[in-house]
Amino acid sequence: PKDFLLISGDDGLTIEVIKRGGVGVISVLANLYPAETVEFVNLALEGNINEAESKLQSLDGVIASLFEEGNPVGIKTALSLKGLCTNTMRPPLVSGSDTLPSKMETLTAEYEKYRYEALFYYTHNSACGSNFGISRDSRQRPYICQYK
């Protein structure tokens, strides 16, 4: 029907759902990477499927780790690593395994390194020239520097 909207409930299937007439996603990933999620969803909605799939594919490891030990365990672990919440669960839920935080930190750091290096390449080869750069914070995570 005309008034029926198909919305993906699985981050990893979002683009496939959009290709079949879907209009968006109810996303877990967007809690961790909101701008990136909006970017690949909008690209898909605009018909730029290859670019959207490339953006989503770069997040495959992170998405898999978010659901590896169930929801909300994965997202709470990821958000706690970013300092956005505590990694505690209320019964009957339990916290994730001891290995999940380190795995999640590795995967998010790899994604962010990829994302920021791509952004650095773009800004360094654009009109902005050398006014931007990448540095590392105290935990050796890359971040974009402001004007030097």
The angle that helices 34-45 and 49-57 make with each other, rounded to 10 degrees, is 150
Lowest mean pLDDT: which of 5-19, 22-36, 84-98, 121-135?
121-135
Q: Which residue has 């994730």 as its token pair?
A: 96
CA nearest neighbour of 49 among 7, 20, 92: 20
Residue 118 confidence class, pLDDT cut points 50, 70, 90: low
| pLDDT single digits (tens) 63-78 | 999 999 999 999 999 9
Reported as type and span, the H/E element at residue 133 is: strand 133-136
Q: Is pLDDT above 50 for 135?
A: no
Q: Is pLDDT above 70 for 44?
A: yes
pLDDT at 46: 95
SS3 label, residue 21: coil
Q: Is pLDDT above 60 for 90?
A: yes
> What average pLDDT does range 83-98 have in this prediction?
90
